[in-house]
C-alpha cells in the first residue's frame, strides 16, 4: 500500500515501529510531508509525537490488560495498542468508540482477525474501566514513579534526581512533555521581525515576538508552504540555540569555521550576522545533511557559506580562522520536548564525551592567534559540557574563558537546554 493511500493512523503505526528499530523520528516525518498535509498531517504529527512522549505511561496502563508482557508482543501490535491508548487518554475530540473501531480495522488489515479481536478487547477494557490508574508509590520509589508518570527512562530520572533533586526533576520531565513552541528567525539579509510578522499575518499565520529576536508561531499550518518561507524570509531556530551565535559574535569580512554544521541553523545565522560578507567554511561528515544546508543557503540568499564534506578532526587549516564554532554531536537531552524519540534511544554519554573532547582539541588547532572558539551542545549532562571544557583548558593553556558559561535549563528558562563556552586563543 502506498503512503498516499494509507490513513494517518496507519502511517503513524509504521513510523512508531521504525523508530523502535532505530530510525530518527524527524527524518521519518519529513519524508511524509509531501504525501500527507493539512488536518491529516497535523493528526499524524500529534499521534506519533504524543505516543512517543507518553510511551512508558501508556505501557503501564496497558500491562494489566495483557497476559503476555508488552515487550514480548509483536512490534506492530505493541505500537498499535500504544497508539490506541494514547488516543483514549489524550485526544478528547475523538470518541472512544471511534478510537477502538479504527484500531480494530487497522489490526484486522495488517495483523489478521485473531489479533483484531485482542485489540478490541484490550482497548475496550481501557476505555470502559473507570478506576483510576494505579502508579508506583512515590515515597518508596520516586525514580520509578516519575519514570512512569512523566514517561522518561529510569536511568535518566535517577541521574537527574541525583543532580537536581526530586522537585526539579519532576518539573524538567514535565517540561519535556509539553507541546513545544515553534520559533522562527527573521532573515536579517531580507527582512525584519516587524516586517516578517506583517507578511505572515497577510498569509493567515499568527505570530508573537519572542526572545532573541525570534517570532513564536501559534499554529504551524501552511507555514512551510507560505510565500515568506519560499522567499527565504525566515529560518526555524529555537530561542536557546539562537543565543550561541551572538556568543561567537562573527563580524563582516572575517574567516569563520563551523564544524559539524548541518543542518545549518547556526551557520546561516552567522552569515546573516556577518551581513553576508566574509568566508564561512561549513563542514559536516554526512553529505545528505550538508545538502539540507545547501538548500537553506540558496533559499535564504546566502553566498558566503562554503559547505565541505569532511571529518572535523582532520582539516588542513591550522590557525586560519578568526572564529570557530564546534557545535558537537551530543545526547540531546536538553531538547527532548522537540524530539520525543531521543529519550528512548540508547545513550553512551561517556563515549560522546570522548568524541566531543577530540573535536574540541581539533578545533583548537584551527583558531588563529587572538581568535575565538565556541563549544556548544544541546544537552544538560556535565560530562558533555563543563567537564569537556575544563579538561580542554587544563591541556590548552593558550585558551581562556572570556564569558560565564551559557547554561539553560529548559524548565527554568522556557527554552531548549543549551550549553556553550566562549574561549579566546592568546599566544
Catalytic residues: 378
Distance CA 36, CA 46 (A): 13
Number of Cβ within a 10 Å radius of residue 3: 13
Distance CA 120, CA 115 (A): 9
State the cell numbers at 211.
Answer: 526572545
Distance CA 291, CA 262 (A): 8
For residues 286 and 262, is the Cβ–Cβ distance under 8 A? Answer: yes
Closest by Cα among 234, 240, 148, 180 to 45? 180
What residues contact 214, with CB distance under 8 A and at least 6 apart? 183, 184, 185, 186, 193, 237, 239, 242
Largest CA distance in the chain: 74
What residues contact 181, with CB distance under 8 A and at least 6 apart? 210, 216, 217
What residues contact 327, with CB distance under 8 A and at least 6 apart? 244, 258, 259, 260, 261, 266, 376, 377
The residue assigned the cell 509525537 is: 49
Closest by Cα among 364, 369, 330, 323 to 349? 330
20: helix, strand or coil? helix
Amino acid at each position: 500500500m502506498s503512503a498516499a493511500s494509507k490513513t494517518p493512523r496507519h502511517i503513524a503505526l509504521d513510523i512508531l515501529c521504525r523508530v523502535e528499530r532505530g530510525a530518527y523520528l524527524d527524518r521519518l516525518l519529513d519524508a511524509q510531508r509531501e504525501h500527507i498535509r493539512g488536518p491529516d498531517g497535523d493528526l499524524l504529527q500529534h499521534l506519533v509525537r504524543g505516543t512517543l512522549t507518553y510511551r512508558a505511561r501508556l505501557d503501564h496502563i496497558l500491562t494489566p490488560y495483557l497476559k503476555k508482557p508488552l515487550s514480548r508482543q509483536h512490534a506492530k501490535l505493541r505500537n498499535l495498542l500504544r497508539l490506541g491508548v494514547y488516543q483514549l487518554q489524550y485526544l478528547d475530540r475523538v470518541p472512544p468508540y471511534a478510537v477502538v473501531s479504527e484500531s480494530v480495522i487497522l489490526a484486522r488489515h495488517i495483523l489478521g482477525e485473531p489479533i483484531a479481536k485482542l485489540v478490541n478487547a484490550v482497548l475496550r477494557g481501557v476505555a470502559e474501566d473507570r478506576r483510576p490508574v494505579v502508579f508506583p508509590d512515590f515515597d518508596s520509589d520516586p525514580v520509578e514513579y516519575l519514570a512512569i508518570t512523566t514517561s522518561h527512562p529510569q536511568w535518566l530520572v535517577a541521574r537527574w534526581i541525583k543532580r537536581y533533586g526530586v522537585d526539579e526533576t519532576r518539573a524538567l520531565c514535565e517540561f519535556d512533555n509539553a507541546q513545544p513552541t515553534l520559533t522562527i528567525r527573521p532573515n536579517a539579509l531580507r527582512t525584519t521581525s516587524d516586517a516578517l510578522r506583517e507578511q505572515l499575518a497577510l498569509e493567515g499565520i499568527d505570530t508573537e515576538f519572542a526572545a532573541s529576536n525570534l517570532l513564536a508561531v501559534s499554529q504551524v499550518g501552511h507555514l512551510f508552504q507560505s510565500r515568506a518561507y519560499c522567499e527565504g524570509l525566515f529560518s526555524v531556530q529555537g530561542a536557546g540555540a539562537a543565543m550561541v551565535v551572538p556568543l561567537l559574535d562573527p563580524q563582516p569580512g572575517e574567516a569563520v569555521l563551523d564544524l559539524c554544521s548541518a543542518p545549518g541553523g547556526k551557520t546561516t545565522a552567522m552569515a546573516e550576522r556577518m551581513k553576508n560578507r566574509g568566508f564561512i567554511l561549513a563542514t559536516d561528515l554526512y553529505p545528505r545533511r550538508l545538502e539540507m544546508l545547501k538548500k537553506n543557503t540558496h533559499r535564504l540568499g546566502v553566498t558566503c557559506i562554503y559547505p565541505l564534506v569532511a571529518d572535523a578532526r582532520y582539516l588542513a587549516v591550522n590557525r586560519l580562522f578568526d572564529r570557530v564554532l564546534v557545535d558537537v554531536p551530543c545526547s540531546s537531552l536538553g531538547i527532548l520536548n522537540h524530539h520525543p524519540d531521543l529519550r528512548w534511544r540508547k545513550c553512551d554519554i561517556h563515549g560522546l564525551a570522548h568524541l566531543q573532547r577530540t573535536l574540541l582539541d581539533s578545533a583548537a588547532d584551527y583558531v588563529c592567534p587572538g581568535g575565538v572558539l565556541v563549544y556548544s551542545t544541546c544537552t544538560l549532562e556535565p560530562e558533555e559540557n563543563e567537564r569537556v571544557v575544563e579538561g580542554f583548558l587544563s591541556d590548552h593553556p593558550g585558551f581562556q574563558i572570556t564569558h560565564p558559561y551559557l547554561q539553560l535549563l529548559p524548565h527554568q528558562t522556557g527554552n531548549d537546554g543549551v550549553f556553550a563556552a566562549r574561549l579566546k586563543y592568546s599566544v
